[in-house]
């Protein structure tokens, strides 16, 4: 594994933030220790873990990268170089393990294939020191990468990074149209060659990944102010692009024929998904979060894809997925709405936050209904189906409990910091985490309200959610949860 990373920052084109953000991006996206070096013309106010190598100012602009070939620098020989206009968004351990790329690998230039590009390079400097003698021979070359290809081609063994690492590992902000989209599932590194640079981009995925923090927030909790900001941005974009509020279709007082198959990601999905093959004309399949891609992998495209959470990380549930119609909560990060709008699928939104949505809508001068009950996407999905008029509902993958140490059908293990506890309903006991216990309490309350709507509900009685529903519909007594 290559253990040293290096960047170059001379002059005033890039602020010190660029150096810190690149270092932090590497730190968040590799599991093994590393050393980060910055070749610079003066001391920089950056993270103290960054080793600064001060050089003279004889080489300016992009030509300062030629210092990489200076044998006099106290820089390790085997290094990975990144331009500062780079965002790392996923693990780069595969890149670090590419010893076969030595002595030199560069990018294949975006938009100009089969030409060397120096935005990302792996090199053994010891085999490239001969290039230092040509550092003043700059005339006639359009930048350092043109110079490098001219002087090293045929003398040093060279490979293109894109030929070794998977397709899509490296992408260009400009060439891959990320001003109108978000990076795909396969993308690990985004290059901002030319303009604009990162500080000029207002996209949420840029703001969430181009930061100095050494760990990104992954908590389920999102501040009220953040949620309100999401809602305002979401509604503004939706109204400006003709995306309609779902309330126009709601009908708590009316029903539609057909069955709503509601799919969540619980472990029972692996055995129960076959029920979807019973769907007939007029029936609709709803799927939320990770269950969407799970169904796609089995050749099924849900009629509705539902996402309710405020976090940017939920964008992963939309990457390389297919649905006919997206139903997004207005508190979703704006990147999700951008992705849905550009996907070619139909899109509607709904307001789902009990406190934040009314406050945000009031500040916007809007009086619109809020589907406020339920704090999880599974419960929201159930409410949406009922609100749209469905009275025959089949729940699939609605577990709400831990089964064989699994929360999901797609092999997502229980987090080690998730405390486990037991809930008992009558004679049945279920293993849950605290947030699952809270969801069970919400479900128990919600299901009693729904009984008055004459809902015909099919459930898996072996799961906590299913058992609560069965008890509620079979009894006039309250469902009692005992911890």
In sign, the C-alpha dihedral spanning 239, 241, 243, 248 is: positive
At 130 the pLDDT is 97
At 144 the pLDDT is 96
Residue with tokens 């009984």: 451
Q: Quick one: tokens of 452?
A: 């008055």
7-11, 205-209, 293-297: segment of lowest average pLDDT: 205-209
pLDDT tens digits for 244-257?
Answer: 998 645 555 667 88
CA distance 416 to 54: 44
At 115 the pLDDT is 96
Contacts of 457 (CB under 8 A, 6+ apart): 393, 394, 395, 469, 473
Partners of 54 in beta bridges: 40
Q: Assign 447 a pLDDT band (cuts: 50, 70, 90).
A: confident
Residue 111, H or E segment? none
Residue 221 pLDDT > 80, yes or no? no
Question: Model pTM greater than 0.75?
Answer: no
pLDDT > 70: percent of the chain? 90
3-state secondary structure of 346: strand
25-29, 182-186, 225-229, 275-279: segment of lowest average pLDDT: 182-186
pLDDT tens digits for 40-97?
Answer: 999 999 999 999 999 998 899 999 999 999 999 999 999 999 999 999 998 999 999 9
How confident is the prediction for the chain on average, in pLDDT? Answer: 87
54-58, 129-133, 472-476: segment of lowest average pLDDT: 472-476
What are the sequence ranges of the domains in the chain? 4-209, 224-414
Give the residue-averaged pLDDT of 272-276. Answer: 93
At 415 the pLDDT is 44
What is the side-by-side strand order in the sheet with 256-263?
A: 244-245, 346-350, 325-329, 304-307, 284-288, 256-263, 390-396, 456-458
At 405 the pLDDT is 78
What does DSSP assign to residue 205?
H
Query: CB-based burial of residue 278 (10 Å sphere; 0-12 exposed, 13-18 middle, 19+ buried)?
Result: exposed
At 356 the pLDDT is 73
pLDDT tens digits for 317-363?
Answer: 998 899 999 999 999 999 999 999 999 999 999 998 756 778 888 89
CA distance 406 to 156: 51
Q: Assign 481 a pLDDT band (cuts: 50, 70, 90).
A: very low
Strand locations in 264-398, DSSP E?
Answer: 284-288, 304-307, 325-329, 346-350, 390-396
CATH superfamily of 4-209: Spore Coat Polysaccharide Biosynthesis Protein SpsA; Chain A (3.90.550.10)
In sign, the C-alpha dihedral spanning 467, 468, 469, 473 is: positive
Q: Quick one: tokens of 144?
A: 């350092």
Radius of gyration of the chain (CA): 27
Q: Quick one: tokens of 472?
A: 């509620």
3-state secondary structure of 171: strand
CA distances from 161 to 146, 182, 186, 395 (A): 17, 22, 15, 46
Q: Assign 219 a pLDDT band (cuts: 50, 70, 90).
A: very low
At 340 the pLDDT is 94
Position with higher pLDDT, 159 vs 227: 159
CA distances from 137 to 83, 102, 143, 146 (A): 22, 25, 11, 12
CA distance 66 to 237: 45
User: What is the pairing mode between strands 104-108 and 170-172?
Assistant: unpaired
Residue 114 pLDDT > 80, yes or no? yes
Give the residue-averaged pLDDT of 304-321. Answer: 89
pLDDT > 90: percent of the chain? 57
pLDDT tens digits for 413-428?
Answer: 344 345 678 888 777 8
Residue 290 pLDDT > 60, yes or no? yes
């Amino acid at each position: 594994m290559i253990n040293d990373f290096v960047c170059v920052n001379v002059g005033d084109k890039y602020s010190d933030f660029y150096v810190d953000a690149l270092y932090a991006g590497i730190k968040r996206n590799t599991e093994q220790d590393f050393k980060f070096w910055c070749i610079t013309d003066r001391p920089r106010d950056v993270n103290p873990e960054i080793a600064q190598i001060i050089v003279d100012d004889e080489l300016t602009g992009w030509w300062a990268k030629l210092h990489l070939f200076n044998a006099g620098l106290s820089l390790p020989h085997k290094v990975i170089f990144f331009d500062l206009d780079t965002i790392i968004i996923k693990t780069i351990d595969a890149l670090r393990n590419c010893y076969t790329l030595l002595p030199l690998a560069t990018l294949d230039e975006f938009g100009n294939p089969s030409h060397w590009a120096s935005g990302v390079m792996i090199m053994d400097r010891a085999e490239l020191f001969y290039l230092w003698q040509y550092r003043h021979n700059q005339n006639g070359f359009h930048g350092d990468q043109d110079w490098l290809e001219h002087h090293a081609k045929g003398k040093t063994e060279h490979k293109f990074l894109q030929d070794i690492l998977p397709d899509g590992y490296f992408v260009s902000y400009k060439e891959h149209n990320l001003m109108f989209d978000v990076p795909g599932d396969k993308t690990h590194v985004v290059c901002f060659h030319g303009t604009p640079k990162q500080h000029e981009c207002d996209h949420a995925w840029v703001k969430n990944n181009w930061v100095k923090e050494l760990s990104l927030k992954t908590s389920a909790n999102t501040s009220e102010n953040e949620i309100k900001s999401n809602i305002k941005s979401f509604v503004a974009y939706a109204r400006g692009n003709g995306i309609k509020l779902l309330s126009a279709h709601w009908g708590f007082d009316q029903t539609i024929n057909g069955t709503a198959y509601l799919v969540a990601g619980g472990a029972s999905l692996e055995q129960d998904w076959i029920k979807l093959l019973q769907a007939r004309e007029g029936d609709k399949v709803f799927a939320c979060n990770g269950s969407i891609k799970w169904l796609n992998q089995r050749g099924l495209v849900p009629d509705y894809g539902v996402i309710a959470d405020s976090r940017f990380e939920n964008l992963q549930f939309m990457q390389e997925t297919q649905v006919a119609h997206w139903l997004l909560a207005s508190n979703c990060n704006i990147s999700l709405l951008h992705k849905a709008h550009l996907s070619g699928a139909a899109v509607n939104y709904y307001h789902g936050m009990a406190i934040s949505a009314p406050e945000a809508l009031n500040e916007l001068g809007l009086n619109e209904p809020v589907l406020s009950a339920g704090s999880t996407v599974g419960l929201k999905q159930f409410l949406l189906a009922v609100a749209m008029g469905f009275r025959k509902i089949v729940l699939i993958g609605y577990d709400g409990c831990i089964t064989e140490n699994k929360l999901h059908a797609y092999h997502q293990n229980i987090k080690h910091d998730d405390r486990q506890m037991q809930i008992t309903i009558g004679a049945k006991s279920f293993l849950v985490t605290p947030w699952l216990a809270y969801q069970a309490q919400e479900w128990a309350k919600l299901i009693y309200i729904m009984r008055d709507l004459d809902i015909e509900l099919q459930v898996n009685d072996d799961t906590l959610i299913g058992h609560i529903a069965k008890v509620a519909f079979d009894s006039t007594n309250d469902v009692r949860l005992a911890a």
